[in-house]
Amino acid sequence: MKIEVVEVDGKLQYLLPIKEMEKIRLENFINPPNFAKQLNISLRSYYRFLENPYTNQVTTADAINQFIKTFEGK
């Protein structure tokens, strides 16, 4: 699981592995507000990423990347 950089409509954006993260959330019985806190993003952003996994926000991508590193380190 990793964040990729892709071109969307002529702009480079981060493609977040949100489906894999949603699977982790469901397997660990974590509710969405608590999971968003663990990701260090807003709940509103989390729901938006479920519909559209692309972002150009470096801070959001970095927060999710930190979660991935922590999760894969377990």
Q: What is the DSSP string of 35-69?
A: HHHHHTS-HHHHHHHHH--EE--HHHHHHHHHHHH
Give me the pLDDT at residue 16, please. Answer: 94
Read off the tokens for 65: 């990347």
How far apart (Å, rounded) are the C-alpha atoms in residues 60 and 65?
8
Say what percent of the chain tops pLDDT 90.
89
- The answer to whether residue 28 scores a pLDDT higher than 70 is yes
- The answer to whether residue 35 scores a pLDDT higher than 70 is yes
pLDDT 10s digits, 46-70? 999 999 999 999 999 999 999 999 8
How far apart (Å, rounded) are the C-alpha atoms in residues 31 and 22?
10
Nearest by Cα to 30 from 73, 72, 71, 1: 71
